Each structure stands twice: as structure tokens, then as C-alpha cells.
Amino acid sequence: MALHRVATETTDDVFTAPLAERPLPKTRIPDGPTDPKVVYDLLRAELLLDGNSAQNLATFCTTYNGDEVKRLMADALDKNMVDKDEYPQTAEIERRCVRILADLWNAPGGPDTMGCSTTGSSEAAMLGGLALKWRWRKAREAAGRPAGTPNLVCGPVQVCWEKFARYFDVELRQIPLEPGATGIRPHQLAQYVDENTIGVVAILGVTFTCDYEPVAEIAGALDAIQADTGLDVPIHVDAASGGFVAPFVRPDLVWDFRLERVASINASGHKYGLAPLTCGWAVWRSADLLPEELIFHVDYLGGEMPTFALNFSRPGGEVIAQYFNLLRLGREGYRRVQQSCMDTAQYLAGRLRDMKVFELLYDGSSALPAVCYTLDGDPGYTLYDITEQLRTRGWQVPSYPLPAGRSSTVVQRVLIRHGISRDEISLLADDIEAVLSKLRAGGGRGGPQEPSFHH
């Protein structure tokens, strides 16, 4: 009898199928096929080891998707975002989302707005950064000045900007945090900006502290620098998280295209935009800010298509799901979702304050729905101990040092997003209290358990 015969047989029980009776092949493709139901159940069982994403309080990314989103994602499985000729309606939906976001971020251009979907804020940041670099170089050429090494000025940025700088040969001038600061302070800029500065990145929702950098004040400082030196330095706002929060819960906060100096904005649809992974957005204030040389026109998919992206083929479902969420929730729906997350973050901040051992760096009231805190003094255990203990209950609550300038301060961060309920957070707070009693009794003094990882 053939050894690999299961393909055409009905399997009585998944766990008595040949594939299930030894460890799964890990280095070589198996010789023959197996019943898909067997493989599905075995893989599903293995993936349970990944943990429960609802308890992952380290990520900004969407972990809750409704049934309609799941259905639309399945419906769109074969749609390729890049193939705008074959899937013109998917392409049209992308354009609608760009226009809606440009409007939400107060772009002056109306339908003239330029933007695109990406795989996330990282790709959007690369595109935004490239446009800045190209415009800077053209301006230097036009002025008959030599182009030196371009630099990008920023505060404590997410790793995507470090990647941009290294991949595209730009010097990253990261301004260290001042004592007590949660991001750039505008008065620091004058020391860092010069004729080779391609732009300043301002962050709406700093990865490390969850606070907003003061974009309007940063623009004001750059106005003053221009008045003094003639340097006209554009701002790119990295609104990965805040781009889908601020317009709904703080509509009066001026951080977007209302500021003339803001040339481009990126946001992660798959964070507070509530779309599934992988969805990001890049939007320019007006079409002329995106150099034509960066756009490629391809004709081998039928029709002529402009493309500005780091990748080529990618799924269309995320963009469709983004449009679904925009239609389904509307402005008021997003406001309610984000406000309820803000309220839950502030509830957690209150519970943490009552525990009397933490100092809050950010309490969830003015920027992202999140809290960031450190230990007040030395109670004989560390935040790393708390992280480790919480993990035994399935909670992922990261501890990490702040970036340059405040790197001796270790903080812990909890992100509240759609799908994380008040009840869940009350259970987390109970667990933190239980961990604290345990640590008080038994001590502990751990360091980082593994490389810290920020989204």
C-alpha cells in the first residue's frame, strides 16, 4: 500500500492522520499531499501558541475585525491593488479614501489632492521622505547651490524613519528628549536645521510616550527660522496613530494641512483607522509637492497606470475594508469609538494612580488612547518584573527605556484600541494589583527579558 495515500481518503480523525502522528515537516516539503482539513486543524492548533491578540496591549494595530470586514476581505482575495485596469472599482475606492482623508486633514486642494494607499505607515514614510529629498535636491539645483548630504530632523521617531534615512542615504538628526519632555520641543529645532535639511518630521502620537508633538508650534519655530535665515523647511507629519484619532476627538487641534508648512502626512489605516493589516496612507498637500520623477507609468497590465510605491502587487481587501469602516462609522462613529478608548485609557490611568507606585508620563487625556508610566522611586522591583509577571496571565505590556536624552527612564505602555473593553482593562488593573502584592512579598529585580519591540 502506498505510504502517501491520504489525499483521496476521508480521514476518520485529524489526530490519527499520518501527518498528525509525528512532528510536522519543518525543513523539507513533504513528499505527498494531505487532506486539507487535517492540515488546517494542525496549523490552527499550532497558531494558538501565538497568544491572544486582544491581550496584546503593546500594539497599535487593529486586532478586532467585524464579520462584514472579514467577508469583504474574503471577497477581495483575488484583487490586486496595483492592477488598476483589471480592478478599476478597487482603484476607485482607493481614490475615494485618499480624498476623504485629505478632507479630514483639511487639504486645501479638493479633488486635486495627491495621495495613495500603502502597506502601512512605514512605506508611507519612505514615500513622504523621498518626495522631501527630491524636492530639496531640485531646489538646490535651481538655486545653483551644491547639494551636500541631505538631513532629516526629528525627535524620537519610530524605526521606519531610521530605515528611511539608512536606505536612502539621508542623515537622521534625532533631537534628544529634554528632561520631562515626551517629544520634540520647538525651541530645539534651530540648532539642527540647515540648508541641507530636507524636512522636519513631527509625530502625532510618539511611539514611546503616546503623546502628540506640538505640530503648530513646530511650524511656528520653522517660520521664525525662515525669517532669520531664509531656509524654508517643510514638515511631514507622521500621524501613524493620531491621524485617525485627533480629527475625531480633538477637531480643534491644528496639526494638519491647515498649517501651510505641512507638506505631507502619513497614517496607518491598520491602527486607529480600524482597517485590517496591511493598510497605510500617504497624502500630499497638493499634487505639485510630489515630484513627477517618482511616479512610474507602466503599461504591461493593460492600460497605463501611474504607480508610486515600494512594492508592486498587493491585496486590495484592506483598502476596501478601510472604505467600509469610513462608510459604516462616519465621523460620529469614529468619534465614539476613539472617545470610548480615551475614556478607558483614563480609567486605567486612575487605577494606576491609586496603586501609588507609578508616575504617569501620559494619562490618556489629550493625545492617543493610551497610558505611559514609570515607577516612582525604587520599590525593590522593576517594570520588567511586572511585564514578566503579567505575561503569565497572557497580557503583553512592554517595558522599555525612553530614547536618547531620557534613556535612564524605563517606562511601560498600554494601548487601548477598538475591541478592548472597559471590563478587560479593569481585569488588567486587578492583575497589576495582584502582581504588585506578589512582588512586594517576594521581591524581584529583572532586566529586559528579550529585545524590546515597538510598533
CB 156 within 8 A of CB 404: yes
For ligand PLP, the binding residue among 35, 83, 238, 256 (CB under 6 A) is: 238
3-state secondary structure 294-323: HCEEECCCCCCEEECCCCCCCECHHHHHHH
Q: Taking the CA of residue 433 as centre, how many other CA atoms within 13 Å lie in the half-sphere pointing to its CB?
A: 14
For ligand PLP, the binding residue among 207, 264, 338, 387 (CB under 6 A) is: 207
Instruction: Please say which residue, 58 or 203, places its beta carbon nearer to ligand PLP.
Output: 203
User: Which residue of this chain has its Cβ atom nearest to ligand PLP in the complex?
Assistant: 120
Instruction: Please say which residue, 19 or 61, places its beta carbon nearer to ligand PLP.
Output: 61
From the CB of 320, what's the least distance to ligand PLP, in Å? 18
Count of residues near ligand PLP by CB under 6 A: 15
From the CB of 202, what's the least distance to ligand PLP, in Å? 10
CB 337 within 8 A of CB 343: no
Of 29-37, 45-53, 170-178, 235-243, the window that binds ligand PLP (rule: CB under 6 A) is 235-243
- The whole-angstrom separation of Cα 127 and Cα 282 is 8
Residue 375: closest CA among 386, 390, 388, 365? 386
CB 203 within 8 A of CB 175: no
Task: Dihedral sign for Cα 12, 15, 19, 21, please.
Answer: negative
- The whole-angstrom separation of Cα 362 and Cα 368 is 9
User: Does 268 help bind ligand PLP (rule: CB under 6 A)?
Assistant: yes
Q: Taking the CA of residue 428 as centre, how many other CA atoms within 13 Å lie in the half-sphere pointing to its CB?
A: 28
Residues 357-386 that bind ligand PLP (CB under 6 A): none
Instruction: Please say which residue, 109 or 183, places its beta carbon nearer to ligand PLP.
Output: 183
The alpha carbon torsion through 30, 35, 41, 46 (nearest 10 deg) reads 0
Instruction: Please say which residue, 76 or 240, places its beta carbon nearer to ligand PLP.
Output: 240
Residues 113-142 that bind ligand PLP (CB under 6 A): 120-122
Residues present in the chain in total: 455
Instruction: Please say which residue, 240 or 416, places its beta carbon nearer to ligand PLP.
Output: 240
For ligand PLP, the binding residue among 55, 57, 58, 60 (CB under 6 A) is: 60
Of 80-88, 238-246, 248-256, 387-395, the window that binds ligand PLP (rule: CB under 6 A) is 238-246
Instruction: Please say which residue, 163 or 250, places its beta carbon nearer to ligand PLP.
Output: 163
264 CB burial (10 A radius; 0-12, 13-18, 19+): buried
User: Does 259 help bind ligand PLP (rule: CB under 6 A)?
Assistant: no
User: Does 280 help bind ligand PLP (rule: CB under 6 A)?
Assistant: yes
From the CB of 416, what's the least distance to ligand PLP, in Å? 15
User: Does 314 help bind ligand PLP (rule: CB under 6 A)?
Assistant: no
Q: Is 237 helix (H, G, I), strand (E, B) or coil?
A: strand
- The whole-angstrom separation of Cα 427 and Cα 420 is 11
CB 124 within 8 A of CB 271: no
Instruction: Please say which residue, 314 or 351, places its beta carbon nearer to ligand PLP.
Output: 314
> Nearest 5°: phi and psi at 75?
-60, -30
CB 281 within 8 A of CB 100: no
User: Does 165 help bind ligand PLP (rule: CB under 6 A)?
Assistant: no
For ligand PLP, the binding residue among 160, 198, 218, 360 (CB under 6 A) is: 160
User: Does 158 help bind ligand PLP (rule: CB under 6 A)?
Assistant: yes
Residue 258: closest CA among 109, 134, 108, 96? 108
Radius of gyration of the chain (CA): 24
Of 81-89, 237-245, 309-317, 348-356, the window that binds ligand PLP (rule: CB under 6 A) is 237-245
Instruction: Please say which residue, 319 or 439, places its beta carbon nearer to ligand PLP.
Output: 319
Q: Cell 530605515 appears where? A: 163
User: Does 273 help bind ligand PLP (rule: CB under 6 A)?
Assistant: no
From the CB of 352, what's the least distance to ligand PLP, in Å? 22
From the CB of 242, what's the least distance to ligand PLP, in Å? 8
CA distances to 41, 136, 137, 146 from 140, rounded to whole Å, are: 60, 6, 5, 7
Instruction: Please say which residue, 172 or 357, places its beta carbon nearer to ligand PLP.
Output: 172
Of 233-241, 301-309, 394-402, 427-435, the window that binds ligand PLP (rule: CB under 6 A) is 233-241
Instruction: Please say which residue, 224 or 277, places its beta carbon nearer to ligand PLP.
Output: 277
For ligand PLP, the binding residue among 240, 361, 416, 435 (CB under 6 A) is: 240
Q: Is 200 helix (H, G, I), strand (E, B) or coil?
A: strand
Residues 412-441 that bind ligand PLP (CB under 6 A): none
Instruction: Please say which residue, 196 or 325, places its beta carbon nearer to ligand PLP.
Output: 325
Residues that bind ligand PLP (CB under 6 A): 60, 120-122, 158, 160, 203, 205, 207, 238, 240-241, 268, 280, 455
